[in-house]
Amino acid sequence: MEDERSFSDICGGRLALQRRYYSPSCREFCLSCPRLSLRSLTAVTCTVWLAAYGLFTLCENSMILSAAIFITLLGLLGYLHFVKIDQETLLIIDSLGIQMTSSYASGKESTTFIEMGKVKDVVINEAIYMKVIYYLCILLKDPMEPHGISQVVPVFQVSTEQLSKVFSPKKICYLSPFSAFLLLLMFSRNVNSSCQDYLRTPDSYF
């Protein structure tokens, strides 16, 4: 079984989320991000080269132009290899664990596996990125302290999407449709049943 849904990130870019169910205990979520924009790449390149040409006009040193070309190429390679993520995949096997895979624009892939026994809880974390945003995180158990937390692992690093209101009986909280959807469908066994009754989005699957 497979279906697809679209969301928006904080910059208005389109995020496509695909669900795949291989068995009742095995499911996969794939988040595809916008590709690198040629317009943005051209704008950044032209800005750097125009600035370098301006410095060259003032200093009359040809090394400035060579350095600008070198910095542009090196920066682009670094951005494609370490920053720009094209696709993130989350594979959940109930009896085994959670595997998270990030595919970068350069073709590089980074995979992280978390044993299900190490998962303490799944929460919605808060961060500030030009504004307050919320995203899903996995809390890992501390082996030395039963009630402690050893690490906070974000589920999807590019899922800082537009927010919509969700009402709970105690207070009004702000939750993205994307986060609520994943929280209910991916980790339903880790979420308190009373929370599932109140976490609803206007455009959810339910």
DSSP states along 96-123: TEEEEEEEETTS-EEEEEEEGGGEEEEE
Q: Are 98 and 90 in contact (CB under 8 A)?
A: yes
CB atoms within 10 A of CB 195: 11
Q: Are 106 and 77 in contact (CB under 8 A)?
A: yes
As a whole number of angstroms, the distance between CA 101 and CA 88 comes to: 6
Tell me the β-bridge partners of 99. 91, 113
Report the side by side order of strands in the sheet with 132-142: 119-128, 132-142, 145-154
Q: Which residues of the chain have pLDDT under 70?
A: 1, 9-11, 129, 158-206
**pLDDT given for residue 14 in this prediction:** 79
CB burial readout 82-98, b (16+ within 10 A) else e: eebbbbbbbbbeeeeeb
pLDDT tens for residues 89-137?
Answer: 999 898 899 999 999 999 999 999 999 999 888 887 777 767 777 778 8
**pLDDT given for residue 122 in this prediction:** 81
**pLDDT given for residue 79 in this prediction:** 92
Tell me the β-bridge partners of 29. 19, 90
Residue with tokens 């943005």, as numbered in its chain: 40
Is the pTM for the entire model greater than 0.95?
no
CB atoms within 10 A of CB 141: 18
C-alpha radius of gyration, the chain, whole number: 21
**pLDDT given for residue 114 in this prediction:** 94
Alpha-carbon dihedral 21, 19, 91, 134, rounded to 10 degrees: -140
**pLDDT given for residue 193 in this prediction:** 37
